[in-house]
């Protein structure tokens, strides 16, 4: 059975790395990796950490690229590879434009698609943008759906996906996180060769920030930055913010926070260093998706600076809270977790709903079972 795993961004690579490693254990599988490099530098960091050498690299990234640019280039460049390789399956993960374009290309070439982390929904096609539509369409194109939770499975069933195609596996991000936190830094350092423990004063509580969502560009992002500035005014905290290179993020972030004495702005960090910093944080403020899954695994409360989330399990479990993009709301909820030990403990000690660290094993076993059924 020939399987090509396709991914293009750092979050996809993190979540696919355990699956790629598990596929290599099986002699019955010819496993290949194709990266689109939708995000070049951040993707390469993860490939190095997990020891993944791609068989194909589409290298599609352009400056200030749009989803249209990415989709068009992935479709154009992946076509001859699928034609020549004729894989039995391609595996995609999540909801990037790489996922949608690769799934569509596979369909055009009559190649079966397995969707890792299928079934996430906000039911708002513009939040997050373009991810909500990407994952809905990818699920319609997929032949096997590896849902991380029962909530995701129910979403797929509502959309008339046949139940025999849906399997609850847990989320592979927990597999990846267990691998990462078991590794010492061994001298690895974020940009600037500064060890993580020197990125903020030891007598301050660390507030870790990630904020880069496309739908938050403009006024919502300005509101978020205003909130971060107010939080940083506290003498007992230090904000650390690895800033996404997109000019719509980097410029405003440096303008508002660059000179603040309680803020450290960095280029994007390698995943190993960032995961270790997550474990040291008192609180994380984010508009990212994957961090809503990762931080609870480390016992760190998460405030989600979005109006909707495709991961309601985290909110229901109490490990994350939606705070939107209103400045006053973000500040109020952050101050509560900084001032109220009981409120902080309630979130930090809640049970992570996203899995047990064995999702990749389940996914590969399901693929092997599908091959056995097809051969009968």
Strands 205-210 and 30-35, sheet pairing: unpaired
Look at residue 183 in the predicted model and tell me its pLDDT: 78
Q: Are residues 257 and 368 in the same domain?
A: no
306 catalytically annotated: no
Instruction: Give the count of beta carbons closer than 10 Å to the beta carbon of residue 170.
Output: 22
Q: Which domain holds residue 131?
A: 2-171+356-375
- Name the catalytic one among 117, 287, 313, 333: 117
- Name the catalytic one among 57, 131, 175, 215: 131
Q: Are residues 136 and 202 in the same domain?
A: no
- Name the catalytic one among 77, 244, 276, 282: 244
164 catalytically annotated: no
Asked if residue 271 is part of any domain, the answer here is yes
Q: What are phi and psi of 95, to 5 degrees?
A: -150, 25
- Name the catalytic one among 26, 40, 165, 214: 214
Name 51's Cβ contacts closer than 8 Å, sequence gap at least 6.
none
Q: Are residues 141 and 20 in the same domain?
A: yes
Q: Are residues 221 and 363 in the same domain?
A: no
Look at residue 151 in the predicted model and tell me its pLDDT: 96
Q: Are residues 155 and 212 in the same domain?
A: no
Q: Are residues 133 and 256 in the same domain?
A: no
Q: Are residues 55 and 8 in the same domain?
A: yes
pTM: 0.83
Asked if residue 176 is part of any domain, the answer here is no
- Name the catalytic one among 167, 212, 262, 311: 212
**8 Å CB contact between 8 and 39:** yes
Residues (pLDDT < 50) of the chain are: 188-192
Asked if residue 182 is part of any domain, the answer here is no
Separation between Cα atoms, residue 226 and residue 243, nearest integer Å: 16
Q: Are residues 226 and 99 in the same domain?
A: no
Look at residue 186 in the predicted model and tell me its pLDDT: 56
Strand 283-286: give its sheet, edge to edge.
263-266, 237-242, 205-210, 283-286, 302-304, 320-322
117 catalytically annotated: yes
Asked if residue 290 is part of any domain, the answer here is yes
344 catalytically annotated: no
Asked if residue 190 is part of any domain, the answer here is no
* Radius of gyration of the CA atoms of the chain, in A: 20
Q: Are residues 361 and 302 in the same domain?
A: no
238 catalytically annotated: no
Separation between Cα atoms, residue 134 and residue 11, nearest integer Å: 15
Asked if residue 35 is part of any domain, the answer here is yes
282 catalytically annotated: no
Asked if residue 205 is part of any domain, the answer here is yes
Asked if residue 39 is part of any domain, the answer here is yes
**Overall domain count for the chain:** 2
Q: Are residues 148 and 26 in the same domain?
A: yes
Look at residue 290 in the predicted model and tell me its pLDDT: 84
Q: Are residues 241 and 159 in the same domain?
A: no
- Name the catalytic one among 12, 22, 73, 95: 95
Look at residue 192 in the predicted model and tell me its pLDDT: 46
Q: Are residues 313 and 224 in the same domain?
A: yes
Domain harbouring 163, CATH code: 3.40.50.2000
């Amino acid at each position: 059975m020939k399987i090509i795993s396709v991914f293009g961004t750092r979050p996809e690579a993190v979540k696919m790395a355990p699956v790629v490693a598990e596929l290599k254990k099986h002699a019955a599988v010819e496993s290949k990796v194709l990266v689109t490099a939708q995000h070049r530098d951040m993707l390469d960091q993860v490939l190095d950490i997990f020891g993944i050498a791609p068989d194909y690299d589409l290298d599609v990234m352009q400056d200030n690229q749009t989803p249209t640019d990415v989709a068009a280039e992935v479709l154009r460049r992946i076509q001859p590879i699928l034609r020549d390789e004729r894989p039995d399956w391609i595996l995609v993960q999540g909801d990037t434009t790489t996922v949608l374009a690769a799934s569509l290309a596979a369909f055009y070439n009559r190649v079966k698609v397995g969707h890792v982390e299928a079934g996430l929904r906000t039911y708002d096609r513009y939040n997050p943008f373009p991810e909500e539509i990407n994952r809905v369409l990818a699920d319609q194109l997929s032949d096997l759906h590896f849902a991380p939770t029962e909530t995701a499975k129910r979403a797929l069933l509502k959309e008339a996906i046949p139940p025999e195609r849906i399997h609850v596996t847990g989320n592979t991000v927990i597999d990846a996180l267990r691998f990462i936190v078991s590794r010492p830094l061994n001298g690895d350092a974020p940009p600037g060769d500064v060890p993580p423990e020197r990125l903020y004063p030891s007598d301050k509580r660390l507030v870790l920030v990630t904020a880069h969502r496309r739908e938050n560009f403009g006024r919502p992002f300005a509101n978020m930055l205003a909130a971060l500035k107010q939080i940083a005014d506290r003498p007992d905290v230090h904000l650390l913010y690895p800033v996404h290179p997109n000019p719509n993020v980097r410029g405003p972030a440096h303008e508002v926070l660059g000179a603040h004495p309680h803020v450290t702005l960095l280029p994007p960090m390698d995943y190993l260093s960032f995961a270790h910093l997550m474990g040291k944080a008192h609180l994380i403020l984010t508009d990212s998706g994957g961090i809503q899954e990762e931080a609870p695994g480390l016992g760190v409360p998460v405030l989600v600076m979005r109006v909707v989330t495709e991961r309601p399990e985290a909110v229901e479990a109490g490990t994350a809270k939606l705070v939107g993009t209103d400045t006053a709301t973000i500040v109020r909820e952050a101050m509560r977790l900084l001032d109220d030990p009981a409120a902080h403990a309630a979130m930090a000690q809640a049970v992570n709903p996203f899995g047990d660290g064995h999702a990749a094993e389940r996914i590969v076993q399901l693929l092997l079972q599908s091959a056995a059924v097809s051969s009968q």
